[in-house]
Structure formats: structure tokens, C-alpha cells
Structure 1
Amino acid sequence: MSRSFLRFLVVSMLAVLTFVVAACGGNDNSSSSSTTKSSGGTTTNAAEAPAKKGGTFNMLAASDVDFNDPGHTYYTWGMVFTFATNRPLYSFKPDDGANPVPDLAEAAPEISADKKTVTVKIRTGVKYAPPVNRDVTSKDVKYAMERFFSVNVGGQYPGYFQPIVGSPAKPTKGVKPISGIETPDDQTIVFKLKQATGVSFAAALVMPITVPVPEEYAKPFDAKSPSTYNTHVAFTGPYMIKNDSKGSLTGYKPGKSIALVRNPNWDAKTDYRPAYLDAINVRTNATDANVAARQVIDGQSMGLDTNPPANILRDLVTKIKGQYLSVPSGGYRYFPMNTEVKPFDNINVRRAVMAGFDRDAARKARGGKYVGDIATHWLPPDFPGFKEAGGYDGFSDIDFFNKNNEKGDLAIAAKYFKAAGYASGKYEGNDEILMVGANADPGKAQAEVAQAQLEKMGFKVRLRLVPQDAVYTDWCQVPSKKVGMCGGAGWFKDFADPQSMLEPTFKGSLINRSSGNINYSMLNDPKVDDAMNKAALLEGDARLQAWADIDKMIVQDAAAIPFIWDKTTLAFSKNVNAVANPYIALWDLSYTSIK
């Protein structure tokens, strides 16, 4: 069978499926982009700034990672550590967010002429950290991808990889072999696909699912439900979380701290990362964002994981030079409404909420104009499909959500409340809405604004504030908790294609009712699912228009309120060369250095 190398810019796709990848499940840290240099308050990285090796980087974080396990993490803050300690098949250098480079792979993937076979060659000389201490093989990538589908592991983005022949439609009990993943030798892995989706499948090989996992070491941990590999990860990157002789992560204190040290088995000749730092210490319970931000700016600590609170962010951007990076995300922040929880099971109630909701007030809670443009639909600026979806104006024929009602329109809201049976033009029922939000700013302020917005429309709201990581892992991702509105969700591209922006968050067939569910709205619209299935097979302009139409369908379903097309500001002390990762638009710990 003839093969052609997939170049990182596929002309036939009109750049739709370039390997521009940026983060996944969003947090209050998220964003994305790349750029080049930063001498201070700019929108660029400092990857090319003078750097020296050595030193310990100390960071303050408002929350813990979701998971250390690369097969389970889908939270941008978790990926900060995953990409410093492990190596997926493909990844991004900080000076180029448009063209991925081979990482664990030695070259670009090969796609067959019929687009049903993708072949990847694995780099030699990549070795696991202690206690595994052996070379990585293609079989490790195969096992990593098979375990992803196990309910024990809880992989959270199955849609991109279900095209593999033999992939399970639902999570399996235990790790099961997948016939469509073949390893003819230790340096080759071959993916057989059910449909001609090789281009989009190859674009997704930048995701953590491709981080290798040694079966003989991980299998006992994966036999447990849930898997305990999360606290015994075998690392392949320049850094590792401190562990003991049995592999237990002694440097990970859940909800308290994470300590990274150099991986003694990392060979710089096999990696493009410079890995300047000797050690990285992160306190993950610095929940007073005002105090943490000022400590970083004053030099008492070196880096902040998240946007500073609105008042400090404003001063940082307008008055302080040389201590921040502003990074656009390629994503959105939003308030999902659970369509299975009363009264949000009524589409007219949801449309009323969208109409009356003051998106500008929510944006101000996060920092105003400095945190991004107010969203009028889902696909963000400078992203494939944005123009086709109405650009900044959105869909003018949808009266309950467009550019003209950014501050909310209670008259239009009243119209939809009346259509739902509430004659007063406000909600008159007795159902209490459970809203879950972060206990640290800016997420806390954002959730409080959302609570006030609902209450002005007649709702009773019970706001529960928890650590940022728990907003997802313990609440919004667990359908049985019946969260009516997630008080702070974010989504950032998995790769630069509208499929990655809309499918994980709104495809009904991907709802996971146990845990790790990403469709927070529980939207299950057969018409949307059918349109997504058809759009996934298209290319070029037809693909963009199809996903733009899906964007409109989701707005019409009123499943959630997008309020910002996001960007993030990273704050750091004067003695730090700060570098952002273009995949997740947070810290790139493998490039950051001390001056």
C-alpha cells in the first residue's frame, strides 16, 4: 500500500488539522498560544532569552493537578506536569504553536493513501526513570492506549481514538487488547482505522494518551479500580516526581505540594527540551490568590499558576514591566447548564437564562478586557470555523444570544420564561440550583457573579465552593452529583480543528455517567451527534462550514453560556525567564529558567 508522509500542515485540509494543539479540560490556569520573546509585559514567550542551567523554581498554585496518570489527566494544570515528566508521540516547542515536532516519535506519522492506516516510528534511546530503568518500546504506547479505555483508568476523550479498529464503544472492565493497534517491532506502531479519518487521528497523537506506560510495571496498579498508577507513574521526560525504590510518588502530597527532580535516566541527546532547572517545587494549596500573586510579584515566590485576581491583573498589565506573559488560549470559558436537572431540562428556561445573563459582568470578575473577548458562540477567534460561525458577531438571528445582549436582556429573557410557563417573565419554581465553583479567585468571583445572575432571574441557588481541581473531578464531571450549573468551566483546543472544540463537550454519545464526564451540560441531541459524525469525515471548506453549523445548533440548544474567548496572564518574579507551553498555554517547565 502506498503511503505519504503527513506534513504538519496538510494542504488538503486548509490548515484545519495542523498539529496546533492546546489544552483540554480547562481550569483557571488555562490558555494557549506560542510566540517568541518576552522582555516583560508582552504577549510572548521568553524561550530564546539567555538562560542558565540549575536552580530550584518555586511556584504557588491555587489547586492540585487532576491526575498524574497520563491516561487519566485532561486538565490543563495536570498537563503542565505531564509534559515536563513524560513524552507523548508529538509535542510543541514554545516558539511555534502551529507545527508540532516528533517527541517520543522519531519522525512525522505516515498516513496511507486511503487514510485508514497511520504508522509511527518510535525513537530509540528513551529510557524510563527508576524504578523501571528500561528502554521505551512501541508496545508501551500500545498498552498506554489500551488502558485509556479501561474504566479503571478513566480516559476522558475517547472520541478521537474510537476510530481505531477494535476500540471499545464503552469503557472496559480491566485493560483489553485493541486489535487495530499493531507493533510489528519495538520501534513501530501501526493504527488501523475503521474510516478514512487518518488526518484528524494523526493530529490527535499529541495528546497524553500516547505517553508510554510499561505494562509489566503498571498492570498490578491497573488491576485495581480505580487504578493506583496515578501515584506510581513511570516517567520518561527530563523531570520526575520524587519517588522511592518501589515507584511510590513521595514527592506528591495531594492537595499540598508537588516536588519534581531530574530524571537520572533522561538522555538530552534524544530530546529537544533544554530542561534548565534542577528542581521544581509547587505548593498546590495557595488558595488566597491575592496573597499568592503579590508574593510572586514581590519575589517571595517565583511563579503563579493562574490569572491573578482582577485588581492585581489590572495593575500587572498597566503598571508592572517584565513580570507577565499574556497568552491567548484558542478556547472558551463557559457556564454549563445541566439539561437533565430541573428546571434546566426545559429548553425555554435555558434560553431565558442565556438571554438575561450579563456576560460582561462575568468577564469583569476575571479581570475585564485583559482576560479576553466576550464570546458570542463557541468557536474562538483565529480558529478554524470562527468566520463561518459569524465571527465576533455570532448568529444575529438567534435573539436570546448574540453580540447585542452581552450585558443581558431581561425583556428577551422574559419572553422565554413566559414560553416556559412562567407568566411573570421570571422563574417561579421551587427547584434549587446546585452551583459548584472554585474557592479561589478569579474562579470564586466568577461563580459568585453567576449566582447573582441566576438569582436576579428568580432562581434559588446553592453555591458550593471547592478547590479548583475538585470542581471538575469531584463535581461537574460526576453526573450523579446533579450539579445544575458548573460555576466555572473552560475548554481549550485539543488540536486546531473545530471537532476538538465541540465534540468532547457536547456530543451525547460520549457522555460518561460514572465519572470523568466532559459533557457537563449532559447535552444529548441526536441531531447534533449525527451532524458531528458526518462533519468528522469532511475536509477543507465543507468541514469548516459543517462545524460552524454545529456551533449554531449548540447555541440553539442553549446547553451552556460561553462568556469569554479566553487568554491567560502568567505572573512571575523578576529573576525568572518565564516560558509558556503553546499546547496548554500555561507554564513550560522544561524551558523556564532562573536568570
Structure 2
Amino acid sequence: MHRVLSALTGELDLFFGGKQMRAGMRATTSLLAVVALTFAVPGNAGAENRHGGTLRLAGLGDLDHFDTASAYTAVATMIQRAYTRQLVTHPTTDDPARAGALVADLAAEVPTVANGGISADGRTYTFRIRRGAKWDAPSGARQVTADDVVLGIKRVCNPVAGAGAPQYFTDTIAGMREFCDGFAQVAPETGAIARYLGGHEITGVRALGDRTVRFTLSAPVPDFLEILALGFSSPAPREYLRYLPDGPEFRQHTISDGPYRISSYTPGAEIVFTRNPAWDASADPVRRAHVDGIHVRLGVDRQEVVTLIDTGQADATWDVPVPPDRLAPLLANDDPRLRHADVGMMEPYLVINMLSPNENHATANLLVRQALQYGIDKAAAADIAGGAKIAHPSCQILGPANPAYRQYCPYATPGDHGDPAKARQLLAEAGYPNGLKLKMLHSDVPPQPAIAQSVRDSLARAGITVELVQVGIGDYYGKYLADSTYAREGAWDIVAPNWRPDWIVGANARSYFSPLFDSSGYSADSPNFGSNYGFYHNPRTDGLIHQALTAPDQATANTRFQEAERQILDDAAVVPMVTRDATFFVSARVRGAVRFPNARVDPANVRLAW
């Protein structure tokens, strides 16, 4: 009861206090929402056990991709829970320990060595597909088959809208790299894609009958089940061969094997989900499907999103974070509608462009990069990112919750405020006794401008003058960081992007080290460097990452990841700055808004008090 009373007091503080004062009707509605939350507790009028209603999500941007082969954002991961299924998945829970343990989804059971699903050498995984898992196919409900699983994996590297992290598959499944290399040469046309998919096989993915599928790996992969839990690994129905991957027609004909189907989609405006009549609750141990439908309202800025939720006109955030001015009072009052979770998110971390020609290739100099490590006031950046309750200064890539974590902080400073004197000393040793000038690229989306200004101000103390270059968020990632020409030409020297691992619980060190620091698939002349934006290149680091990814067991993998992290930090490749909790905001009528597996509302498992 204390927590609920605190929430009620917090809303009164918001109503009567200074900058957060709202107009009378809005404040009254907000107050009534919290009162409703106060009395809608377990055991009161059966509110917790009711089914039905429509879950209303609101946000700014459209879904990046409907197609599971290419969808690669946190919001896509959230909504895929409603209309897709995978062989294995993470459970919906508030318990981090339980969240890290994979459970069977389409598979009848999680394969292990003990049950015969994984071979003794760790290179073969066999799955039996659960009977009763069905597609909502145009011709009628149809069982999900092993061929559908094979087709889903094949489509990962299609030449139109392939996966954002194909290396998860090309580095693990036997024959996948060769299959994808061939696919890359195919014309981006429906007919050509269908012919290639029908005429070529992946050595390591085989359907053994209607409901048995076998994966053969090129080497043991301790986290292979985690890869199969990704949306990329979803099966695909044969009807998808009729459409260009994630094209306009595809988006109007997306087929569900989850509890909800897409009944209408208006680009940039709304997505409407209704119940999937082909879905059988007895064949799905993961999704409870309490609500009758899901409505996603698009094109709403984040200030309005929070207002809609605060006043009960929407139920949860879609893609936008809570603005800093709205977040602070919610945190201060421990408002139970604000949920947050440590998901190992680096937000931000500083990437150093190793190829920049500026200032006589200054950023290629280890001493200069070490000076940056000491120059930045991480505590100030953490305050901007959200403050002590959700943002913390960091000196490592991995956090304590990661099983591969081992404490290592080579550039510690008092109170995490930086050490300008040490930074100046290192600059002088590097040949820059009078300081140097660097360009920092940043997006126009808060808090990026404020973070950039903080970096500029803290580095100024060390004699480093930073020129800030602001660009739109689309150009930030889609142009300047995606095209390596800008790095080579010195359009930027430093950037402070965010990184969230592709799965936020369990053994996820791969999703930091493989995309961010493995340069083995690129050269300095490559058209892009993937997510290794500044082209950090060290063959020893690449080797350690490869050893970790092909280790015979997770303990060995963790040791190699620890060694790789130490090397990366010794090379001062990036400056870890802040680890920040993921946050999401829900209305007073939402129940079961737990933190895992996605640190967002699970639309297939929340309930509504109505």
C-alpha cells in the first residue's frame, strides 16, 4: 500500500508543483488514473483476471520492417510477439534469472544433449515442431512446418531487405555464407528471388519430414539457441514467395502464426491487430493473448504520447522514450506506471574514427584516444541521460549482469568526472602540446544535442576543441554512419551513438563484440563497416572474438570475451560513457507490464482493467 500511496502523492506533487503544473482537466484526469491504479490491485473486483479490450500503443515512427527477415528495432521485437513465433524464445517475466532461460515456443521442447536434441559435439540441433501451431493462411489455417522454418532462414540474406545482423547466421550455420554470397548476386525481383530460394539449399538447414528440422553448424556455438530466438529466425509461409521482401504488397499480406493478425495497415498512421482465428492457445505455451486487439497510432510526438498515456487515452509507448522533462518527476515519485530495466544498454558510448585524416590523423594515435578516455565527464553525461535512478557512468562494454563480465576499468577518474590534467599530459606526449580540434557528429533527437554539448565542454578542459555537427536522425545512422566514405574523409572524428544488445537477457556478449568490434569481414575500403562505425581493427581482437563464438562451452566463450574486452579497452577503441536502463510508460489500466524479454510491453501477455 505504501508504494501506491507514494504514487498518489507524486501525482499531487505534479499537479501543484512548479514547472510540472498541468491544466486542471488534464491534472484531474491524471489524478483519477492513479486513483484507479490504487484500487485496481490483485483481488479487487477481479480486475486482474479480465480478458478483452484493445491495447492502445502510440508513437512517432512506422515499423521499420514487417518482414521478420529484416525487422531490426526494439519496437519490431516488441510487436513481433503478437504475430510471429520462433522455435524457442524468452519468457515474459519480471525475474531476470527466469528471463535468461529459453523456453520452447514452436518447438515441442528445448533441445539439449540429454534429450538428444543437441549432438555430443555441439554441432547438430534437431527440433520437433509443435502440432497445432498454424498459419493464418489465405486458403485457411495450416500447420507450421519444417519447410517453413527452412524458408525463414533462407530469406535472412535476401538481396532486397535482408537481416541487419546476417553474421549471426553466416558465422554459425554450415553452408550459410556460401548460400548468402550466391543470393547477393540475384536480381532484387520477386521472380528471381523465388527461383533462387527454390533452387538452392543451405547445407546446414534441413527439413526431415513435415515437423522435424535439423541445423548443422560449422563449429560448436554456445549461444546458437539465442540466435534462433531472434525474430530473424522466424519461419516463413510459402505465400511470401509472391511478394518482394517487406515491399508494399508484403506489408498488406503479412501472415501470422501468433495470436494476432494484422487486419489493417495505413503507412505512417496506424496498424490494427485483431485476433488470429488460426491460433490455438493450447499449442502456444508462451502467449496468453488476454486482449482482443491491438491498435498502434503512429505520427505522435513523444510529448503527446506521454500526455495520451497520462490521461488514459493510450496504454503504452510505442517507439519514443519519455522526454527528460516528463521522466524526472515520474522517477522522483516512483510512479508505478513508469517501468525500467537494466538491459545492458550503452547510451551513449563514444566511437572514435580511426580513419579520420584530421589533425594529422590524430585519432589513429593511441595516446590521443587515451586522452579522450580521461577527458570526458561521464557523470555529467549520466545526469543528462536520466540521472542516478536509471543512468550510470560506465568504464566497460559489458555490465555486471552479463555472464561474461569481469571488472576492468583502466581509465578510472575521481567521481567519473574525468581527469583533464592527465588528458593534457597524454596529448603532449602524442605531439599535441597545444591541444587539437575534433569534429563531433550528433543527431537532432534529444538528449543527443545535450550529450554532445557535454562532451564538448568536458574535452575543452583538456585542451581539445570540439566542433559540433548536428544532422537529422535519419542521416545520422542512415547516411553518415552507414557510409564509410564519411569516416575516411573526416566528416567526423567522434560520435556518441547508443547500442542495445539484440537480446537483453542471457548470454548476449556476441551481440556486442561481433557487430561493434569484429573487423574481419571488412577492409578500410569497404563501403560500410557495419556497426563498427570507426573501423576499429585489431587482428588479435578479431581472433579472440572468433574463439569466443566457436568455443566448446559458454565458460570458455566468456573467458575469450573478457580477453577481447580488455584488448579493446587497452586500444582505447571506444569510450564507454553511460549504461542506461530502458524505460517504458503504461497507463493505469495496464496489468502485467513486466520488464523482460524486451523491456517494453509484451502485447501478447498484458491485461487491461476495463
TM-score, L = length of structure 1: 0.80
* Greater C-alpha radius of gyration: 2
Deviation at 1:373, TM superposition (A): 2.6
Tell me what 1:107 maps to. 109
> Which deviates further from its counterpart, 481-490 or 209-218?
481-490
Tell me what 2:515 maps to. 504
Task: Pick from 56, 68, 71 the counterpart of residue 69 of structure 2.
Answer: 71
Tell me what 1:265 maps to. 278
Task: Pick from 208, 211, 232 the counterpart of residue 184 of structure 1.
Answer: 208
Deviation at 1:374, TM superposition (A): 1.7
Residue by residue, what CA displacement relative to the aligned partner does 1:388-415 show, whole Å, maximum 9, x if unpaired? 2x1xxx33xx3xx335462222222223
Tell me what 1:84 maps to. 82
Tell me what 1:587 maps to. 601
Residue by residue, what CA displacement relative to the aligned partner does 1:13-56 show, whole Å, maximum 9, x if unpaired? xxxxxxxxxxxxxxxxxxxxxxxxxx989xxx99x981422222
Equivalent residue letter for 2:240:
Y
Tell me what 2:432 maps to. 422
Tell me what 1:202 maps to. 225
Task: Pick from 374, 378, 396 the counterpart of residue 359 of structure 1.
Answer: 378
* CA separation of 1:438 and 1:81: change in aligned 2, threshold 3 A: farther
Residue by residue, what CA displacement relative to the aligned partner does 1:150-195 show, whole Å, maximum 9, x if unpaired? 3323212233322211111665324553111111111111111122
Deviation at 1:323, TM superposition (A): 1.6
* Structure 1 Cα separation of the partners of residues 253 and 476 of structure 2: 24
1:407 aligns with 2:417: yes
More helix by share: 2
* CA separation of 1:529 and 1:280: change in aligned 2, threshold 3 A: same
* Structure 1 Cα separation of the partners of residues 234 and 595 of structure 2: 17
Equivalent residue letter for 1:364:
D
Task: Pick from 424, 427, 437 the counterpart of residue 443 of structure 2.
Answer: 437
- Bigger relative contact order, structure 1 or 2 (CA pairs below 8 A, ≥6 apart): 1
Deviation at 1:228, TM superposition (A): 7.1
> Which deviates further from its counterpart, 487-496 or 499-508?
487-496
1:166 aligns with 2:168: no
Task: Pick from 85, 90, 93 the counterpart of residue 91 of structure 2.
Answer: 93
Residue by residue, what CA displacement relative to the aligned partner does 1:532-578 show, whole Å, maximum 9, x if unpaired? 11223153544323211211111123232222233123222212225
Deviation at 1:264, TM superposition (A): 2.9
1:38-57 → structure 2 map (5 Å cutoff): 50-57=48-55
* CA separation of 1:216 and 1:591: change in aligned 2, threshold 3 A: closer
Residue by residue, what CA displacement relative to the aligned partner does 1:474-516 show, whole Å, maximum 9, x if unpaired? 5534435547344431222534243333222211124595679
Deviation at 1:103, TM superposition (A): 1.0
Tell me what 1:532 maps to. 545
* Structure 1 Cα separation of the partners of residues 355 and 138 of structure 2: 46
1:565-576 → structure 2 map (5 Å cutoff): 565-576=579-590
1:380 aligns with 2:405: no
Task: Pick from 182, 193, 196 the counterpart of residue 217 of structure 2.
Answer: 193
Residue by residue, what CA displacement relative to the aligned partner does 1:123-158 show, whole Å, maximum 9, x if unpaired? 222222353643321111111112212332321223
Deviation at 1:112, TM superposition (A): 0.3
CA contact (8 A) 1:154 1:516 kept: no
| Alignment RMSD (CA, Å) | 3.2
SS at the partner of 2:341?
A: strand
SS at the partner of 1:141?
A: helix
Tell me what 1:26 maps to. none
* Structure 2 Cα separation of the partners of residues 463 and 574 of structure 1: 38
1:20-419 → structure 2 map (5 Å cutoff): 50-95=48-93, 96-109=98-111, 110-131=117-138, 133=140, 134-161=142-169, 162-168=171-177, 171=181, 172-173=183-184, 174=186, 175=197, 176-197=200-221, 199-218=222-241, 220-222=243-245, 229=250, 232-243=253-264, 251-254=265-268, 256-272=269-285, 273-287=287-301, 289-305=302-318, 306-319=320-333, 321-333=335-347, 334-343=349-358, 344-386=363-405, 388=406, 390=407, 394-395=408-409, 398=410, 401-402=411-412, 404=414, 406-419=416-429
* CA separation of 1:220 and 1:497: change in aligned 2, threshold 3 A: closer
* CA separation of 1:297 and 1:516: change in aligned 2, threshold 3 A: farther
Tell me what 1:491 maps to. 500
CA contact (8 A) 1:66 1:473 kept: no
Equivalent residue letter for 1:115:
G
Residue by residue, what CA displacement relative to the aligned partner does 1:212-236 show, whole Å, maximum 9, x if unpaired? 11244335414x9x89746643222
Q: How many residues align?
A: 525
Tell me what 2:19 maps to. none
* CA separation of 1:314 and 1:416: change in aligned 2, threshold 3 A: same
1:476 aligns with 2:481: yes
* Structure 1 Cα separation of the partners of residues 529 and 594 of structure 2: 27
Deviation at 1:280, TM superposition (A): 2.0
1:455-474 → structure 2 map (5 Å cutoff): 457-466=464-473, 471-473=476-478
Tell me what 2:32 maps to. none
CA contact (8 A) 1:129 1:236 kept: yes
Equivalent residue letter for 1:214:
P
* CA separation of 1:533 and 1:295: change in aligned 2, threshold 3 A: same
CA contact (8 A) 1:83 1:237 kept: yes
Task: Pick from 526, 535, 555 the counterpart of residue 569 of structure 2.
Answer: 555
Equivalent residue letter for 1:86:
T
Equivalent residue letter for 1:479:
S
* CA separation of 1:358 and 1:583: change in aligned 2, threshold 3 A: same
Residue by residue, what CA displacement relative to the aligned partner does 1:304-347 show, whole Å, maximum 9, x if unpaired? 24442333222112325432222221343223233333444444
* CA separation of 1:320 and 1:220: change in aligned 2, threshold 3 A: closer
SS at the partner of 1:423?
A: coil
- Aligned residues: percent identity? 23
CA contact (8 A) 1:363 1:374 kept: yes
* CA separation of 1:568 and 1:274: change in aligned 2, threshold 3 A: same
Task: Pick from 533, 552, 577 the counterpart of residue 520 of structure 1.
Answer: 533
* Structure 1 Cα separation of the partners of residues 529 and 143 of structure 2: 31
Residue by residue, what CA displacement relative to the aligned partner does 1:340-365 show, whole Å, maximum 9, x if unpaired? 33444444433322221122222111
CA contact (8 A) 2:351 2:534 kept: yes
* CA separation of 1:59 and 1:486: change in aligned 2, threshold 3 A: farther
Unaligned runs of 5+ in 1: 1-38, 244-250
CA contact (8 A) 1:572 1:578 kept: no
SS at the partner of 1:573?
A: coil
Tell me what 2:6 maps to. none
Deviation at 1:82, TM superposition (A): 1.6
CA contact (8 A) 2:85 2:234 kept: yes
Tell me what 2:7 maps to. none
* Structure 2 Cα separation of the partners of residues 282 and 98 of structure 1: 29
* Structure 1 Cα separation of the partners of residues 317 and 124 of structure 2: 43
Deviation at 1:368, TM superposition (A): 0.7
Tell me what 1:12 maps to. none
Unaligned runs of 5+ in 2: 1-35, 112-116, 187-196
Equivalent residue letter for 1:126:
A
* Structure 1 Cα separation of the partners of residues 297 and 430 of structure 2: 48
CA contact (8 A) 1:125 1:270 kept: yes
* Structure 1 Cα separation of the partners of residues 270 and 495 of structure 2: 26
* CA separation of 1:384 and 1:561: change in aligned 2, threshold 3 A: same
* Structure 2 Cα separation of the partners of residues 516 and 61 of structure 1: 30
* CA separation of 1:126 and 1:514: change in aligned 2, threshold 3 A: farther
